[in-house]
Amino acid sequence: MDKPLDLLKRLGVETQPNGDLSVYSPIDGAPIATLQNASNGEIEDTIARAKAAFIKWRDVPAPRRGELVRLWGEELRKSKEDIAQLISLEVGKILQEGLGEVQEAIDMCDLCVGQSRQLFGRTITSERASHRIMEQWHPLGPVAIITAFNFPCAVFAWNAANALICGDSIILKPSEKSPLSGMATLQALLRAIDKFGSDAPGGLAQGIIGGVEQSKELVYSRDIALVSATGSTEMGRSVAVAVAERFGKRILELGGNNAMIVTEHANLELALRAIVFGAVGTAGQRCTSLRRLFIHHTQKDALIKKIKTAYASLNIGNPLEDQSLVGPLIDAPAYMMFKNGIQDALDEGGTLLIGGERVLEEQYPDGYYVSPAVFEMPSQTQAMKAECFTPILYIVPYEDFDQALEMHNDVPQGLSSCIISDNMREVERFISASGSDCGMANVNIGPSGAEIGGAFGGEKETGGDRETGSDAWKNYMRRTTNSINYSTDMPLAQGISFGD
Amino acid sequence: MDKPLDLLKRLGVETQPNGDLSVYSPIDGAPIATLQNASNGEIEDTIARAKAAFIKWRDVPAPRRGELVRLWGEELRKSKEDIAQLISLEVGKILQEGLGEVQEAIDMCDLCVGQSRQLFGRTITSERASHRIMEQWHPLGPVAIITAFNFPCAVFAWNAANALICGDSIILKPSEKSPLSGMATLQALLRAIDKFGSDAPGGLAQGIIGGVEQSKELVYSRDIALVSATGSTEMGRSVAVAVAERFGKRILELGGNNAMIVTEHANLELALRAIVFGAVGTAGQRCTSLRRLFIHHTQKDALIKKIKTAYASLNIGNPLEDQSLVGPLIDAPAYMMFKNGIQDALDEGGTLLIGGERVLEEQYPDGYYVSPAVFEMPSQTQAMKAECFTPILYIVPYEDFDQALEMHNDVPQGLSSCIISDNMREVERFISASGSDCGMANVNIGPSGAEIGGAFGGEKETGGDRETGSDAWKNYMRRTTNSINYSTDMPLAQGISFGD
Amino acid sequence: MDKPLDLLKRLGVETQPNGDLSVYSPIDGAPIATLQNASNGEIEDTIARAKAAFIKWRDVPAPRRGELVRLWGEELRKSKEDIAQLISLEVGKILQEGLGEVQEAIDMCDLCVGQSRQLFGRTITSERASHRIMEQWHPLGPVAIITAFNFPCAVFAWNAANALICGDSIILKPSEKSPLSGMATLQALLRAIDKFGSDAPGGLAQGIIGGVEQSKELVYSRDIALVSATGSTEMGRSVAVAVAERFGKRILELGGNNAMIVTEHANLELALRAIVFGAVGTAGQRCTSLRRLFIHHTQKDALIKKIKTAYASLNIGNPLEDQSLVGPLIDAPAYMMFKNGIQDALDEGGTLLIGGERVLEEQYPDGYYVSPAVFEMPSQTQAMKAECFTPILYIVPYEDFDQALEMHNDVPQGLSSCIISDNMREVERFISASGSDCGMANVNIGPSGAEIGGAFGGEKETGGDRETGSDAWKNYMRRTTNSINYSTDMPLAQGISFGD
Amino acid sequence: MDKPLDLLKRLGVETQPNGDLSVYSPIDGAPIATLQNASNGEIEDTIARAKAAFIKWRDVPAPRRGELVRLWGEELRKSKEDIAQLISLEVGKILQEGLGEVQEAIDMCDLCVGQSRQLFGRTITSERASHRIMEQWHPLGPVAIITAFNFPCAVFAWNAANALICGDSIILKPSEKSPLSGMATLQALLRAIDKFGSDAPGGLAQGIIGGVEQSKELVYSRDIALVSATGSTEMGRSVAVAVAERFGKRILELGGNNAMIVTEHANLELALRAIVFGAVGTAGQRCTSLRRLFIHHTQKDALIKKIKTAYASLNIGNPLEDQSLVGPLIDAPAYMMFKNGIQDALDEGGTLLIGGERVLEEQYPDGYYVSPAVFEMPSQTQAMKAECFTPILYIVPYEDFDQALEMHNDVPQGLSSCIISDNMREVERFISASGSDCGMANVNIGPSGAEIGGAFGGEKETGGDRETGSDAWKNYMRRTTNSINYSTDMPLAQGISFGD
């Protein structure tokens, strides 16, 4: 691993030595760099440039816009290792996951290249003679992308790749906890823009450093056609209200409180693998992390035994080291949340089965490493209904499937969910209208690790939106219905006669 | 025309003689009937029943749900004349338009029958071996349908037919200005439910009488999955915020401020026909009514002459009489709005070309009939940027097409729009990414009178949503992405290796 | 049951007392009526009328065309009992199946009404500035529908309902073994056309009586845009070649040789129910009848016992009588085929487990009733690879799933298939790329009894086409790709510079 | 330009010095290389390898298959100049067109990468409780791609890129007149396969050298699931019949006889540009070349004058030289066809307006350069109804639009077509159901130069198929409809009661 500043330089990320935003590595709490938060005036200018860029970009043919995204993918391929290292350094996820995240950005670029020729609307038959109807999808406007700390590269790329092929200009506001990785991803885009040539207007892709204040200015601006925000439910609620008030558009990916049902027909080996990656991957700080586990009572003892064995052998440590599977929490407040979560579970009658400790404190006094915790709970308690964004897994046994489903759905969030079962009836029931109420319902897979092809997002307090996959590109465009009369007559719909 | 109470009886609409909501006919201001506003407790009970009904209805196969909507269409066919009469009586639109409105409800039922077998999701290839992905659309929950006075039957039917095939229960809250027509449409549905049999749970379709207070209780309820509201921008804004705050879903069809561009290449006969129906139909009280008219300067004099001639011969009068083309405004406040609109236009330098008077006052002292007004304006003034929901048409001449487009888009609303031109370049430009910014952009058709096949709705302060046509049924469902692993292995997406 | 001629009269089917085609009832071999085969000249005239009708019908708006199909559905609802009786009488299927067949025709009409507004093409982004691309689906031309004896009503309705909404005129050539039921279905359409009014041109829907000669004239005619033919593989092959030679279009639904795999994880009660309806329904004369049954060796004895018990209690008899479950074979040649099939199975080492006899011969000396046969075969023999269109079921046990799949696919036909299993891995494997090679692969359902929503048809010698469901309507239309330049420049695709 | 053998070497194309197929350059008739035609045994082996490869490739996840096609695109980017040179050398088209052809192959690879995640089937609602239906698209089998001499690179890439992402193995049989360019394109694919790694089975992509005999062996083989053939109608007819006889699948792109209508409302500058590129590009040897030109009588003289001026200044010559716009015909038989075409036109009363001569004969005694010919014809004559694959353009004036449309459609072919008009009614009429009967109908663009996004192909004797764009990928897959019962009950469709 290079020195951070060498890495940043190679990635083209500029830092401001006297900036007011300091970025620390969760690995050891050491500062990586400082950046300067954007002022109000700077944000206004940024928005104005984005608006001007949009007016030009929307007229560039979509397949040509796709070519820019292809070049971005090429740049990301070249910088894959570097960006992955930066992610590990800044977010604390293990390098394998960092590489996976950049790969996801690359995959999204590849997908969007093809998508740029497939922004299909519909031609529709008219009820009137010599009339036809069609539906076109047109570019929408400037898009603000407000990302969370845990996926600084992929989530930005999901949004930006879609927005760019759809004809929109973009403004990235990365999390103040991990702005560098986002900026590095943006730099790769700017290099692609350079290669792309003059079709790409200045201001097409910009970044803003900052926190809540900077986000608000984007959210409230009437010139931002779409706000795509990833983060907590509370943040999302305020975005939702602010954007609704001005009739803007939004994509929200908020809290998850993702569960798994392990049925009496489950393959426990599969279950175990899904549980461990789901619950401890990214140190439990994925929006799709596994948090609640409902086990059929006949399977409980055997599975808990396996889980304890697996957890006991987890390598917790520096995420840049090969053998590490679990890195640090992002910062001290996260550790507080973890501690409180542990206490709440105990208070509600939970039995701590394993983990729940701070570890490596001597080695990294300013790094917050914890041993992922597993609780057996007497029932689905109140604490389980809130998202505790740390590696705490709650186990609740169940007697019959309907009961498991009911507990499963009885939380305010609705992002991801899964069932482990070999039985087709249980499986189908789980993904049916009366099954999981989440945006994603997986079978014999954990709740996390979605592919880019399927629509990603969730229901209820998760926000209700989808930011990639399937036809999610439509969020980045506006729809126009065109009814065209090519006769010299003008019949009315519904057969109305008006003064004829 | 029957006596109102006979008509209501035949349509199965119950009235409460001592109810606190009096319904008047705009024809002559005479009371038609009184109804009782719903109390808080009644609304709570209604919502609870809707929720219970949803739990059962969502499991009824969609094509079977379609059969209910087919039966509804049959009932509407049987009552078409009666409901149309009631609409004329209660809303004041001419009988031809009343018949057209019921026909639209019938067409929507027919469409939804077929649609019930076509609630297509997607099967998607997975990047992992022995995995597949699919996307299903599932029923959403209880839907509240809050309608405006001007389309009491069709807008309810659009929403309800879609909601019902999608597996949702519905609650209608009709406008307090025209509740009877909505209730009559609901009664037809209830008769269909009776014929349908026991698959349809009690509480599947309900109505609530009331005004803003009653609407609010629906809007704020966490048990209402979707609020579909038609009306003013200000009403819509409060709905948008309230629903966003609780992460509910919404469909908003709000203000329009619809314009037409008549170019130098226009067929003026077509233009005239589109203008007259667009501007005076439903006495200018359609959300898609024509309000702004941009005429190429070379065409201005000829077209204004035609318009004046046509307006001069408009039959204004009792909408139930065959020869009438323009009925009354809905009520006294509407007439106030009209008067103020006239004054504002004059104040801003407009020249009144024709109309703008109250007429038939002697015959109908409590009916508000006006002669539709046409102004020539020196430019697009401030008053023109607000929706004045009455028959006032503003004409602004233009020199070049870009200028016309710019004026066209320079209003906060974005519902419908149209161009009259024989020239393919102008036409295509108008419907292109840099053309009209509205949800509907028509060619050689006026802005109103949409068919049910195309997506209906608009951008900007119109709300951004679509409530029927194309794939608008998706609004009434929730999407679930299912990733299914049928191997005994568990590879991770993006090729991540985790502890292997 | 009425007298046949009364029934025919009520259904509007005209017969020719001295016609050269005699139609017999398989119930007792008694003649029902005589019809007159069409002469060459008559067919030429019929085609000419269909062509002229097409030219007019293609310009009738599709939703209006849908209205005709809606009226047809209404007529079929009114005549449902009568047509079902006629089907039983003429084809020999039990009344329940006759009713189901007419219901399927009605369902198809309902579906097509909605479909008529949803003949969606695509709008597509262009790589050239100020260009757009769209794809429209246009009416195709006259469609010949050549049906088989076993589904005289539904298959005609599938094709005709689709063709009519798609803007095509139709010519029905029913099987010479059951022309009356088809003609009765056509008469219902003609009544609908009468009600529909003058938009429907004369010649829009016509019928031709005849056999192979009459079919050939349709198949070879360059004026028949599409030949939709249901029947044997050999018939289909000659149609395929003849139509290919003239670059016509075709839809072929030919032989099936449908199998079921009952795995070690099967619910045997479900399996039994699926087997019995699949193998003996319509006396084994459905194209989707179950013919081959692969049972996991551990389940074999138990399942065979159940099958024998169920078969032993089958009511074989007059299909118009309520208690009958199995009616007669269509005619003497069918009985010959059955006898030969029995003999072949015996010759190849099969063990006859039950059935295989002619029954009720005394009561119906000219009716061919047989007891459905079940064989246990030592392996998948040669005889099993041909479709024997009678109620013979071959059972082959298997050891492992791959072996079962291999046997399953190792026949020339590829229509329908199914698996009975509770195990999700087996189920998913069966419907995967390396599973069943058939057009339809069902899970815990027998091979027959498809719904109209899914695409119906099969691979390999079944023909490769789909005649209803999903997007099968596209077969009845032609696709046009429109690239539209609305600039005043003319850039070339792929960035070619040509003499600039 | 390098020496041919150096070029071939760089492109990895192996030649056989003593091979029985000699390839000549149309530029000067000089031999480029010799190749060895495949023997029957070799073809059998090739097919067997393709079949084995298919069995493996179909199980490779589609997005992974997309990665191979992405690598192919990269290889083509690297070899773009070289392949373009080889195309010019072997086919005689100008280098700009050669580059455009390779770019089209690259674009297709880019599109298919995204497409590999979008091989969407449908999830469909079932009419039965606890049932669902879905439609999946699965790999089809080995695909034979038989290409024509004029697009040796792009047409192969269209087909192969689609086939490969769809899970099929491919066999290329290039035209014996231009096998080297196809083989060079295949070599680029083989290099990509090398880089891709072991997921790609041996035999995935193969080539066969030969002519009609070799094609036949592919066409008749039951192991070739799909034959995609581009070429003459007569070739196509025999393929169609042979493939139909064995129930194989086919994609045919056969003769075009493409026309343009220049209306009274045409922009003549646009028309001229479209005419010249359409008629003389690739020396009139594109399947989409412009052959027939219908001019409104009021525009005729002016446009003919422009055409003559433009034709008079055409640079005819060595296609590798920058200033050349028109290269040679492919060979002596093509020149014979040209001469006969000229004579036929004269015999039928045509007036030769310009061109029609062999040129540069002294410089290139074995190269067949001709001056593109333009005729004014008294009406649409018999000769005009056949495709003469050389640069002859026939002009017929017309009086009214219907007459022009009638002539336009009155030929046996149906590939491409266009209208030049500023009038929206003419334009819309031309692309409507009663307008052009071709697969492609363009507006203010010539008939050639299609983009890859729209479906490419034509009606009538052009074959009726589509090989790329829109949803043409479905041709390379098989569809499976899956009905899944997850209840423990087994209701029958259409509400049939069977022995209950």
Q: Choose among B383, B390, B429: nearest CA to B406.
A: B429
DSSP state for residue C139 in the 8-state scheme? E
CA distances (Å), C237 to each of B91, C343, C459, C462, in order?
63, 27, 13, 10
Q: Tell me, what's the pLDDT at B497?
A: 75
Q: Which residue of D has its CA nearest to A116?
A: D111
- Which of A64, A104, A106, A113 should be substituted to probe chain D, the one whose Cβ sees the most D Cβ atoms within 10 Å? A113
pLDDT of residue D496: 72
Residue C500 has a pLDDT of: 61
Q: How confident is the model at residue D263 (pLDDT cuts 50, 70, 90)?
A: very high
CB contacts of A325 in chain B (<8 Å) are 498-499
Structure tokens at A43: 């944000």
Q: Using CB atoms, list chains with 3+ pairs below 8 Å to chain B.
A: A, C, D
Residues near D194 by beta carbon (within 8 Å), at least 6 away in sequence: none
Which pLDDT score is estimated for C194? 98
**What is the reported pLDDT for B500?**
61
Of D418, D401, D393, D431, which is closest to residue D298 (Cα–Cα)?
D401
- Tens-digit pLDDT profile for residues C196-218: 999 999 999 999 999 999 999 99
Reduce the DSSP state of residue B90 to 3 states and report it: helix
pLDDT in tens, D361-414: 999 999 999 999 999 999 999 999 999 999 999 999 999 999 999 999 999 999
Q: Which of D119, D169, D490 to mutate to test the interface with C (most CBs of C within 10 A)?
A: D490
Q: If you average pLDDT over residues D66-85, what whole number do you get? A: 98
Nearest chain C Cα distance for residue D334, angstroms: 23
Contact A428/D486, CB-based, under 8 Å?
Answer: yes
Residue in A with minimal Cα distance to C481:
A123
Distance in Å, alpha carbon of A200 to nearest chain C alpha carbon:
14
Put simply, the answer to whether A433 touches B464 (Cβ < 8 Å) is no
d(CA D497, CA D494): 9
D195: tokens are 């880089």
Residue A492 has pLDDT above 90, yes or no: no
Alpha carbons within 13 A on the beta-carbon side of C217: 21
Instruction: Report yes or no: C424 at the B interface, CB cutoff 8 Å.
Output: yes
Q: Which chain C residue has its CA at the smallest distance from B64's CA? A: C107
- Asked if A123 lies within 8 A of C132 by C-beta distance, the reply is no
Q: Give which of B325, B422, B483 to mutate to test A binding, by max A Cβ within 10 Å.
A: B483
Q: How far does the CA of residue B62 sit from the closest CA of chain A (Å)?
A: 11
Q: Where are the domains of chain B?
A: 4-254+463-481, 258-443
Distance CA B285, CA B278 (A): 10
Residues facing residue B483 across a β-bridge: B133
State yes or no: pLDDT of D139 exceeds 90: yes
Give the separation between CA B225 and CA B51, rounded to whole angstroms: 10
CB-based contact, C64 to chain A, within 8 Å: yes
List the single residue in D117, D122, D421 with the smallest CB-CB distance to B120.
Answer: D122
Determine what percent of chain D is predicted with pLDDT higher than 90: 96
* pLDDT band for position D39 (cuts 50, 70, 90): very high
CB contact under 8 A, C434 and D127: no
Residue B494 forms contact with A (CB below 8 Å): yes
Q: What six digits make up the tokens of D110?
A: 């880019």
Nearest CA to A30 out of A320, A279, A282, A280 is that of A320
Same fold, A4-254+463-481 and A258-443: no
Strand D31-35 relative to strand D21-24, pairing: antiparallel
A11 secondary structure, DSSP code: T
Asked if pLDDT for residue D462 goes beyond 80, the answer is yes
Cα-based torsion angle of the residue sequence A9, A10, A13, A19 in order, rounded to the nearest 10 degrees: -20
As a whole number, the mean pLDDT across chain A is: 96
CB contact under 8 A, A453 and D117: yes
Tens of pLDDT, residues C267-325: 999 999 999 999 999 999 999 999 999 999 999 999 999 999 999 999 999 999 999 99
Give contacts of A 131-150 with C, CB under 8 A. Answer: 131-132, 134-137
B498 and A124 in contact by Cβ < 8 A? no
Hunting for tokens 């023109």 — which residue is that?
B384
In the structure, what pLDDT confidence band is assigned to residue D1 with cuts at 50, 70 and 90? Answer: low
B143-146, strands of its sheet edge to edge: B205-207, B170-173, B143-146, B226-230, B249-253
Helices (H), D331-479: 332-347, 401-409, 424-430
Q: H or E stretch including D23?
A: strand D21-24
Measured between beta carbons, the chain D residues lying within 8 angstroms of A488 are 425
| Min Cα separation C124/chain D (Å) | 7
What's the pLDDT tens digit per position in C414-464?
999 999 999 999 999 999 999 999 999 999 999 998 899 999 999 999 999
ipTM score here?
Answer: 0.96
H or E element in which residue A44 lies: helix A40-57
How does pLDDT run across D176-213, given as a tens digit for each residue? Answer: 999 999 999 999 999 999 999 999 999 999 999 999 99
Q: What average pLDDT does range D298-302 have in this prediction?
A: 98
- With beta carbons under 8 A apart, name residues in chain D contacting B266: none
- Are B495 and A464 within 8 A, CB to CB? no
Q: Cα torsion at A211, A212, A214, A219 (round to 10°)?
A: 140
Work out the minimum CA distance from B140 to partner chain A, whole angstroms. 9
In what order do the strands lie in the sheet containing A205-207?
A205-207, A170-173, A143-146, A226-230, A249-253
Per-residue pLDDT tens digits for C146-196:
999 999 999 999 999 999 999 999 999 999 999 999 999 999 999 999 999
Q: At residue C395, does pLDDT exceed 70?
A: yes
B480 contacts chain D (CB < 8 A): no
User: Please, which pLDDT band fits residue D84 given cuts at 50, 70 and 90?
Assistant: very high
Chains touching C (at least 3 CB pairs under 8 A) are A, B, D
CB C296 within 8 A of CB C268: no
Closest chain B residue by Cα to residue D63? B127
The CA distance from D402 to the nearest CA of chain C, in Å, is 14
Nearest Cα to C21, choosing from C208, C228, C286, C221? Answer: C208
Question: For residues C391 and C367, is the Cβ–Cβ distance under 8 A?
Answer: no
CA–CA separation, C168 vs C154, rounded Å? 18
Q: How many CB pairs under 8 A join B and C?
A: 72
Q: Would you tell me which residues 185-224 of chain C have a C-beta closer than 8 angstroms to some C-beta of chain D?
A: none
User: Which residue in the block uniquely carries the two structure tokens 């066209």?
Assistant: B408
What is the least distance, in Å, from the CA of A114 to any CA of chain D?
4
Nearest to D49 by CA among D215, D171, D185, D227: D171
- Neighbour tally for B94: CB within 10 Å: 29
CA C286 to chain centre: 8
Q: Where are the alpha helices (DSSP H) in D26-153?
A: 40-57, 62-78, 80-91, 95-115
Contacts of C492 in chain D (CB under 8 A): 100, 277, 449
Distance from CA of B195 to the nearest CA of A (A): 26
**What chain C residue is nearest to A60 in terms of C-alpha separation?**
C129
Kindly state the tokens that stand for B144: 């509240």
Beta strands in B208-299 (DSSP E): 226-230, 249-253, 258-262, 290-296
Q: Is A485 on the interface with B (CB under 8 A)?
A: yes
Q: What is the pLDDT averaged over residues D421-444?
A: 98
Q: How confident is the model at residue A500 (pLDDT cuts 50, 70, 90)?
A: low
Q: How high is the pLDDT of residue A491?
A: 82
Q: pLDDT tens across B296-339, in order?
A: 999 999 999 999 999 999 999 999 999 999 999 999 999 999 99
- CB–CB contact D127 B443 (8 Å): no
Contact C481 D456 (CB under 8 A): yes
- B176 and chain A in contact, CB less than 8 A: no
pLDDT tens column, C234-268:
999 999 999 999 999 999 999 999 999 999 999 99
Q: For position A499, what pLDDT does the model report? A: 65
Q: Name chain A contacts of B427, Cβ cutoff 8 Å.
A: 484
Task: Tell me the H-state helices in A171-248.
Answer: 179-196, 212-220, 233-245
Cβ atoms A283, A391 nearer than 8 A: yes
Q: Tell me the angle at which helices D179-196 and D80-91 cross, rounded to the nearest 10 degrees.
A: 160
To the nearest whole Å, the CA of C159 is away from the closest chain A CA by 20
Residue C496: band (very low, low, confident or very high) from pLDDT cuts 50, 70, 90: confident
Full-prediction pTM beyond 0.95?
yes
Looking at domain B258-443, its CATH superfamily turns out to be Aldehyde Dehydrogenase; Chain A, domain 2 (3.40.309.10)
Q: Quick one: closest CA in A to B460, which residue?
A: A247
From the list A61, A119, A123, the residue facing C136 with the nearest CB is A123
pLDDT recorded at residue A379: 97
Kindly state which CATH superfamily the domain C4-254+463-481 is placed in: Aldehyde Dehydrogenase; Chain A, domain 1 (3.40.605.10)
Average pLDDT rounded to a whole number, residues D227-233: 96
Give me the pLDDT at residue A1, please. Answer: 59
CB contact under 8 A, D61 and B126: yes
Q: Across the interface, do B66 and C110 touch by the CB < 8 Å criterion?
A: yes
Per the CB < 8 Å rule, is C428 touching B132?
A: yes
Q: What is the pLDDT of residue B496?
A: 72
**Rounded distance between C-alpha atoms, residue D80 and residue D67, angstroms:** 20
How far apart CA B274 and CA C351 sit, in angstroms, is 79
Task: Please identify among residues 313-352 of chain D the ones whose CB lies closer than 8 Å to any CB of chain C.
Answer: 325
Q: How far is CA A276 from CA A295, A354, A373, B499, in A?
A: 15, 13, 11, 10
Q: pLDDT for D103-119, tens place per residue? A: 999 999 999 999 999 99
Please identify which residue in the block is written with the tokens 């679930």.
Answer: B480
Question: How many other CB atoms are found less than 10 A from the CB of residue D78?
Answer: 12
SS (HEC) of A259-319: EEEECCCCCHHHHHHHHHHHHHHHHHCCCCCEEEEEEEHHHHHHHHHHHHHHHHCCCECCC
Q: Which residue has the tokens 């000219």?
A: C366
Answer whether A260's CB lies under 8 Å from A418's CB.
Answer: yes
pLDDT digits (tens, 9 = 90+) for C60-118: 999 999 999 999 999 999 999 999 999 999 999 999 999 999 999 999 999 999 999 99
- For residues A470 and B122, the answer to whether their CB atoms sit within 8 Å is yes
- Catalytic amino acids of A? 253
Does the pLDDT at position A458 exceed 90? yes
| % of chain D residues with pLDDT over 70 | 99
Q: Which of the following is catalytic: C67, C97, C253, C461?
A: C253
Residues of chain B with pLDDT under 70: 1-2, 499-500
Residue C438 with chain D: CB contacts under 8 Å: 480
C-alpha pair distances (Å), B6 with each of B36, B80, B82, B186? 19, 15, 10, 18
Q: Residue B485 class from Cβ within 10 Å (0-12 exposed, 13-18 middle, 19+ buried)?
A: buried
What's the distance, CA D301 to chain centroid?
34
Residue A71, pLDDT score: 98
- Chains with 3+ CB–CB pairs under 8 A to D are A, B, C
pLDDT above 80 (res D498)? no
Instruction: With H, G, I as helix, E, B as strand and everything else as coil, classify residue C459.
Output: strand
Give the model's pLDDT for residue C28: 97
Contact in structure between A163 and A170 (CB atoms under 8 Å) = yes
